[in-house]
Every structure is written in structure tokens, then in C-alpha cells.
Amino acid sequence: MRVVFFRFVFHRGGWHSIINDTTSDWPSRFEYLGYLKSIDHYVLWQQHPEGNSIRLVNGRNGKANSVDDMPIVSPDRQRFLTASLDLESGFNPNRLVVWRLRSDTIVQEATFGADDWGADSVAWITTTAFRFSRVGQSQDGSLQLISRDTVRFSQGTWGLHR
């Protein structure tokens, strides 16, 4: 069964519908989380049979992008981070992604991550640097701090510094 979940009306005219699809091979169900004014995007939770993601819908043109988790917007609003952490079940990736807002699109600039660690407590320090806690899963299933790392943008690339 396909049911229109939400209809967006855009600043520049036009509209876009998001459909809860329960009949396809990989069905998705959506929940509206709100509007993120700082990057002019509507935010929806997208639930899959196993795992989840965030659907960002551009408030100007309706272009939709799926990202791993909630955006953490930079102080200058030119970039955002997503930090996905799922060491236990493995339904979602363990990665930290830097995204850049360009005109009316979202461009992935850098990705950090591995199967045996994930990023937690992610925060921007400046418009070109952020820090996070690298965590792993201990034998009892709890998260264990591995290190506190910083990522900086320098000479056109993002680099990890321990």
C-alpha cells in the first residue's frame, strides 16, 4: 500500500510528495521531524526493514537526499556533519561524513569510519574543524572510548588528527 505521507510546498513554487511505501522490495516509512532553517531543509526519519536514515528535502527546490543521521550544522552554515554509530546490529554504517551545501545541492566532501569503531560526541570547533570521540564496543556490549580526535580542513582536504 502506498500512502502520501507528506506534501511539501516550496519557496519557488511547486510541490513534492513523500510516500510511505510498504509494497516494494525495500519498503520505507517516513516520519516528519521538522524544518532545519539553518540549511533550509525539511527533515524526515526514514525507517527501513533493517536500519534507518534521514531524508533531507531542500526547501527551495524539493531535491531529496538521504544521509546517515541528523545533520550537525557548521557555524557558517556552509557544511554539516552526519555521524552514524551502529556497532551492535550493523544495520547502519559506522561513519562520520562531511557534507558541503553548494547552491541547491548537497555534496559529500569526506568520509571517516570503520567497522570496529564509530563517532560519538561530534561537535564543530570552527567552520573548518570539528572533534569527536572514537568509540568501540567492549565485550559486555557497552561503548568504550578509544580516543578523542580532531578533523581539520587544510589545503583542500579534510585530515584526521589524533
- Give a yes or no: residue 69 inside a domain: yes
User: Is 24's pLDDT higher than 50?
Assistant: yes
pLDDT at 107: 95
Q: Which residue has the cell 519557488?
A: 12
CB distance 85 to 119 below 8 Å: yes
Please state the φ and ψ torsions of residue 140, each to the nearest 5 degrees.
-85, 5
- Give a yes or no: residue 134 inside a domain: no
- Give a yes or no: residue 23 inside a domain: yes
Per-chain mean pLDDT for the chain: 86
Prediction pTM value: 0.84
Give tens-digit pLDDT for 115-159. Answer: 889 899 999 999 999 999 999 988 898 899 999 999 999 999 999
CB distance 72 to 80 below 8 Å: yes
Looking at the DSSP bridge assignments, the partners of residue 31 are 45
- Give a yes or no: residue 39 inside a domain: yes
Domain range for residue 96? 2-115
- Give a yes or no: residue 10 inside a domain: yes
Side-chain half-sphere CA neighbours of 93 within 13 A: 14
Alpha-carbon dihedral sign for residues 138, 143, 145, 149: positive
CB distance 118 to 111 below 8 Å: no
How is residue 127 written as a grid cell?
567552520
- Give a yes or no: residue 128 inside a domain: no
- Give a yes or no: residue 20 inside a domain: yes
Give tens-digit pLDDT for 38-82. Answer: 999 999 998 887 888 999 998 888 888 999 999 999 999 999 999
Nearest to 41 by CA among 69, 71, 17: 71
The strand pair at 15-21 and 29-36 is best described as: unpaired
- Give a yes or no: residue 140 inside a domain: no
CA angle, corner 84, sides to 151 and 27, nearest 5?
A: 145
Domain tally for the chain?
A: 1
